[in-house]
Structure 1
Amino acid sequence: MGIDGEILFLCHRIPFPPDRGDKIRSWHLLEAATKLAPVHVGCFADDDRDMSFSAEMERVAVSQCVLMRDRSRAVAGLSGLIRHQPMLVALYDKAEMRRWVARLLRERPIRAIIAYSVQMAHFLPKDLPADIRFLMDFVDFDSAKYAAYGAGQGGLMGWINRREGRLLHDYERKVARRADISVFVSEAEAAMFRRAGGVDGCRIGALENGVDLEYFRADGDYPAIDPPGAPLLVFTGQMDYRPNIEAVESFAREALPAIRRVHPQACFAIVGRSPTPQVEALAAQPGVIVTGGVPDVRGWLAAADVVVAPLRIARGIQNKVLEAMAMARPVVASPQAAEGIDAHDGAHLLVAADAPGEAQAVLSLLADPARAVALGLAARRRVEERYDWAATLAPLRAMLTGEAEGKDSREASAA
């Protein structure tokens, strides 16, 4: 059963193709919304490649507004300083998007709005009609990430990140107070946001990520790769994203040498698009390969003896971990990367808190191939039980209609 009227879906990055963490979630959320009602999509493109996919969006959207995000971080930072705005909001400030949203709200029977990522709430009027439901998908507690960056930095960048953390958290709380319901990618993330304060009376919950269990399966149809070394350790991710950069740097410089002392031919493959010069420089180290973007990540996952996720700063549910588990690979993850996933250390994956622990965990799996296979099979069973997209997104309809609440949450909070 669908919902009356139409849905407005706002997203900071064009959801198609679902080939990186944020786009995987937004694409599946968009597909789920289209099964409930006609959907209008407003989003941004990072580059010409992104913009080329706007035609693909026509098959799921009744209408769309895809704009190039052409404001630099420097300009956004200056604008944010002048307007006392978070840089994340200033980065996406576009009058054309605001006009498109206003026109849709005037002309179309919009009955529900999904804003994906906090900066997209900036395009909504503050006085939404009472018959329009507003679901804010924060995904992650982004301000906490900036605060964590700033806490570990000095100088200008430390000040910038601490300021962004403060301003963004204030903005997140204001948005949560406007929304009918706010969701995060995991209950752990939602609980962290609640504990930070300032959101009493707001409906805040979790809408978990899933994984495409038919696509990510060990016996699927995908091109095999010739492993560049044995044993092969693999990390996957968008390689211009700071937490991923820091993760592979730490593993390559601190964990891999200890592993290679036992397995001199061990190879660490960093698999993902847009590697920065900092990441590319790691290829000069013995045993490190930087692939850049690959047509199909499944071949690398299937070839991996162990998949590693050594993130020190991580928010929510890590798609890279779910995908590796779905491929029945043994995973060694940091506590931060494992935190949002309903899986148990030693039963479905191994958790290691630092580089020496990661090296030890990897070596233990390489020393016991039968245990590694069993861990991978248990991981696959766990994601089948918990992370099918149809199941994780099943609450969406009730969230968009308010049926589970009894009455409109804005009315409830005003009472």
Structure 2
Amino acid sequence: MTRRPHVLVLVENLSVPLDRRVTQESRALVEAGYRVTVICPRGTTQDTEPEADVDGIRVLRYPLRPATAGALGYPREYALALWHTLRLALRVRREGPVDVVHACNPPDLLFLVALVLRPRGARFVFDHHDLVPELFLSRFDDARRGALYWATRLVERLTFAAADGVISTNESYRDVARRRGGVPADRIEVVRSGPDLDRFVRRDPDPSLHRGKEHLLAYLGVMGPQDGVDYALRAVAALRARGRDDFHCVFMGAGDALADMRALSSELGLDDVVEFPGRVPDEYVQRCLSTATVCLSPDPKNPLNDVSTMNKVVEYMAMGRPIVSFDLVEARVSAADAAVYVPDDDVEGFAGAVADLLDDPARREEMGRLGRARVEHELSWAESRRRLLGFYERLLGGPPGAGRVADR
């Protein structure tokens, strides 16, 4: 007797459905005929129920307090997350077979849960969301790297060694899996994070978001020490210092640097032109980005950002917005001609690029058109979904319902 293959998805750094990539992957698997259970932390203001059904995805959530400041906060957070994840994974396994453990990092410790379930036949897929060693290099100074950095290199290597297959978010991460992880090329698939254009849609502009100003600048994303929101705020201050008072700014998102960014905004005298609404619903995101004159991607050049695909860049492009970005390898791969690239983390240069776009509506329109077309034809979730399902068919020997998964 055959049954639907059961995929157990593990994610630690965001709740579901707040984590858009994990939700899209899980929804795609359910729509293709897989059974999917997600284990993740509870949110603080949303996704707070311990168990939920999200579009046919069973979601089990555990309580987790994020790491406190400093490198030592992460081992404490990860140890607690690993305990809860293992506890819930064993509960799921007692209820029936698990065919695939699909672990999304960080941290690079979730392979331990897969190893516990492997004797009963579960395969392990490593969904490589972040380069954790580079994350430590980018967040902490030399004095705090030390043994923790090398520990992250070790567990990354163990994760790659344990994986039956690896999903990389871009070609740079694929290269890491091959070069540093020793994973054969035929066991790696690139599945980019891209917007689902049936759900992430352009909306009518909302003039009220301008707060009476001619232009709106928008930022969307996580606010951590490595995300460059401080660079964007200093660039806004530089625009003000040039005598411009024709714009308002919305910084959407949350993270462990949000309080610091609000304090910096006040310190720079920007409270009258900058607002931080925190995490906001998709409808607000779509409305704000559809209204924005220019979108900001201020991630500074560092070992992590240079090779990481920023979801916000592709989402800006999906809304047909021009972008100002620092000159990062993967930013150019994603945005191409939809962005202006500023070298060397230059705040004054960033401010100048924004000012140039504010004064050039024809260029803004052309950049937005090129970005939207690139998403429609190359970077949307439709292409990533095809790659994901093909990867799973190769992993399990065929599509769900092909008679290859038997009761155990």
Establish whether TM, by shorter chain, passes 0.5.
Answer: yes
Mapped partners of 1:180, 1:343: distance in 2: 32
Q: Which residue in 1 is equivalent to 2:262?
A: 280
Q: Which residue in 2 is equivalent to 1:9?
A: 9
Mapped partners of 2:183, 2:325: distance in 1: 34
2:182 equivalent to 1:199: yes
- Shift of the 194–146 alpha-carbon distance from structure 1 to 2, 3 Å rule, reads farther
Mapped partners of 1:267, 1:370: distance in 2: 21
Structure 1 contact 7–39 (Cα < 8 Å) conserved:
yes
Structure 1 contact 14–44 (Cα < 8 Å) conserved:
yes
2:161 to 177, 180, 190: 177
Q: Which residue in 1 is equivalent to 2:78?
A: 89
- Listed one character per residue, the Cα deviations across residues 152-174 of structure 1 (whole Å, up to 9, x for unaligned) are x25xxx42x44332211210110
AA in 2 matched with 1:397: L
Structure 1 contact 211–326 (Cα < 8 Å) conserved:
yes
1:130 positional shift: 8.2
1:70 positional shift: 4.2
Structure 2 contact 204–287 (Cα < 8 Å) conserved:
no
Structure 2 contact 160–177 (Cα < 8 Å) conserved:
no
Q: Which residue in 2 is equivalent to 1:413?
A: none
1:404 positional shift: 9.6
Q: Which residue in 1 is equivalent to 2:403?
A: none
Structure 1 contact 332–352 (Cα < 8 Å) conserved:
yes
Mapped partners of 1:266, 1:397: distance in 2: 44
Q: Which residue in 2 is equivalent to 1:327?
A: 319
Q: Which residue in 2 is equivalent to 1:292?
A: 277
Structure 1 contact 116–139 (Cα < 8 Å) conserved:
yes
- Shift of the 199–87 alpha-carbon distance from structure 1 to 2, 3 Å rule, reads farther
1:253 to 219, 229, 234: 234
Mapped partners of 1:207, 1:234: distance in 2: 27
1:114 to 102, 106, 118: 102
- Which deviates more from structure 2 when the two are superposed, residues 198-207 or residues 302-311? 198-207
2:359 to 353, 367, 392: 367
- Listed one character per residue, the Cα deviations across residues 203-234 of structure 1 (whole Å, up to 9, x for unaligned) are 3442111112234443x268653303333222
1:270 positional shift: 2.1
- Shift of the 242–122 alpha-carbon distance from structure 1 to 2, 3 Å rule, reads farther
Give the number of aligned pairs.
379
Mapped partners of 1:7, 1:129: distance in 2: 16
- Unpaired runs of 5+ in structure 2? 399-408
- Listed one character per residue, the Cα deviations across residues 214-262 of structure 1 (whole Å, up to 9, x for unaligned) are 34443x26865330333322212233x2223xx2212222464146515
Q: Percent identity?
A: 24
Mapped partners of 2:42, 2:79: distance in 1: 16
1:176 positional shift: 0.8
Mapped partners of 2:382, 2:396: distance in 1: 19
1:374 positional shift: 1.0
Q: How does 1:228-247 map to 2 (within 5 A)?
A: 228=211, 229-239=213-223, 241-244=224-227, 247=228
- Unpaired runs of 5+ in structure 1? 81-85, 407-415
1:189 to 173, 185, 194: 173
Mapped partners of 2:199, 2:35: distance in 1: 26
- Shift of the 242–257 alpha-carbon distance from structure 1 to 2, 3 Å rule, reads same
1:327 positional shift: 0.9
1:66 to 36, 42, 61: 61
2:26 equivalent to 1:33: no
2:89 equivalent to 1:101: yes
Mapped partners of 1:276, 1:113: distance in 2: 33
AA in 1 matched with 2:375: V
Structure 2 contact 169–192 (Cα < 8 Å) conserved:
yes
Mapped partners of 2:116, 2:49: distance in 1: 33
2:331 to 339, 342, 360: 339
Structure 2 contact 168–191 (Cα < 8 Å) conserved:
yes
Mapped partners of 2:388, 2:215: distance in 1: 42
Mapped partners of 1:270, 1:330: distance in 2: 16
2:297 to 287, 299, 309: 309
Structure 2 contact 64–77 (Cα < 8 Å) conserved:
no
